Amino acid sequence: MNNNIVAVYPGSFDPPTKGHLDIISRASKIFPKVIVAITENYNKHHMFNLQERVDMMKESVSNIKNVEVDSFSGLLADYLVKIESFFVIRGLRALSDFEYEFQMALMNRTLNQKIETIFLMPDQIYTFLSSSMIKEIAGLGGDFKNLVPEPVYKRFKIKNNL
């Protein structure tokens, strides 16, 4: 195996969930190095700023030795060229994710023919889970402790005075 191969798991991760960690864990068993690349998604209103999301993710993956956390702005294709990686990891929870992810994979390949997208499915207990759902549950006072990593739960509590 080529130990220089780097896979990138991009996303806004607002906030990171246990579903994200499941995908990261799976990718870390396949690739020698995984970079979780956190970006601003200008189409979304973020609860946590970029640095908070980076910090939460770093704390959440600190026990996985071959995973690093980075941030970027702009096109994923440009970021991949910058770090000299062309493998993108994306999670598929349900069939409804496939169309969007398929379009994104094809667009990235259109921007750079070297880009390959690898789709991973999370454990079935996370197929319903999304960052948006976590924010909604928390906003309505529901219990979400078992759905997010401990560092994320702590930051949520502090940020929302819970």
Query: What 3-state class would DSSP assign to 53?
Result: helix
Considering 44, 145, 154, 157, which one is annotated as catalytic? 44
**Residue 124: burial class (beta carbons within 10 Å; 0-12, 13-18, 19+):** exposed
- Please list the alpha-helical segments (H only) found in 34-149: 50-60, 76-83, 95-111, 131-139
Task: Respond yes or no: is residue 44 known to be catalytic.
Answer: yes
Considering 20, 53, 90, 135, which one is annotated as catalytic? 20
pLDDT of res. 95: 76
Considering 18, 93, 135, 155, which one is annotated as catalytic? 93
Considering 26, 53, 131, 135, which one is annotated as catalytic? 131
pLDDT of res. 80: 97
CA separation (Å) from 156 to 40, 42, 79, 107, 146? Answer: 19, 22, 29, 34, 13
Q: Between the CA atoms of 76, 13, 155 and 141, what dihedral angle is there, to the nearest 10 degrees?
A: 150
Sorted by where each starts, the structural domains of the chain and their CATH numbers stand as: 6-159 (3.40.50.620)
Give me the tens of pLDDT residue by residue for the chain, a chain 162 residues long: 456 789 999 999 999 999 999 999 999 999 999 999 999 877 778 889 999 999 999 999 999 999 999 999 999 999 999 999 999 999 998 777 888 999 999 999 999 999 999 999 999 999 888 998 998 998 888 999 999 999 999 998 888 776
pLDDT of res. 159: 81
Task: Respond yes or no: is residue 93 known to be catalytic.
Answer: yes
Task: Respond yes or no: is residue 131 known to be catalytic.
Answer: yes
